[in-house]
Amino acid sequence: MSKPKEIFLPSLDREIGAVHPINQVKFELVKLLTSFGFEVAEGPEIESEEYNFDMLNIPASHPAREMHDTFYVDGMKSVLRTHTSPVQVRCMLERQGPMAFISPGKVYRKDDDATHLPMFHQIEGIFIDEDVSFAHLKDLIYKICHSLFGEEAKLRFRPSYFPFTEPSAEVDVLFGDKWLEILGCGVVNPKVLRNCKVDSKKYSGLAFGLGIERIAMLKYGVSDIRDFYKSNLDFLRQFK
Q: Where are the domains of the chain?
A: 21-230
Lowest mean pLDDT among 5-14, 90-99, 121-130, 197-206: 5-14
Confidence class of residue 191 from pLDDT cuts 50, 70 and 90?
A: very high
This prediction has a pTM of: 0.86
Residue 125: CB atoms within 10 Å: 25
Q: What's the mean pLDDT in 117-139?
A: 95
pLDDT at 104 over 80: yes
Q: How far apart are CA 126 and CA 206, in angstroms?
A: 6
CA distances from 60 to 56, 101, 240 (A): 11, 27, 45
Contact (Cβ atoms closer than 8 angstroms) between residue 210 and residue 104: no
pLDDT at residue 1, rounded to an integer: 61
Lowest mean pLDDT among 88-97, 120-129, 182-191: 88-97
Confidence class of residue 22 from pLDDT cuts 50, 70 and 90?
A: very high
Cα three-residue angle 228-231-236, rounded to 5 degrees: 65
pLDDT at residue 226, rounded to an integer: 92
Cα three-residue angle 203-205-210, rounded to 5 degrees: 165
pLDDT tens readout for residues 38-82: 999 999 999 999 999 999 999 888 777 777 788 998 777 799 999
pLDDT at residue 200, rounded to an integer: 94
Domain 21-230 sits in CATH at 3.30.930.10
Q: What's the mean pLDDT in 4-12?
A: 73
pLDDT at residue 172, rounded to an integer: 93
Q: What's the mean pLDDT in 180-186?
A: 93
Contact (Cβ atoms closer than 8 angstroms) between residue 43 and residue 90: yes
pLDDT at residue 240, rounded to an integer: 82
9 vs 126, higher pLDDT: 126
pLDDT at residue 156, rounded to an integer: 95
Residue 54: CB atoms within 10 Å: 15
pLDDT at residue 2, rounded to an integer: 67
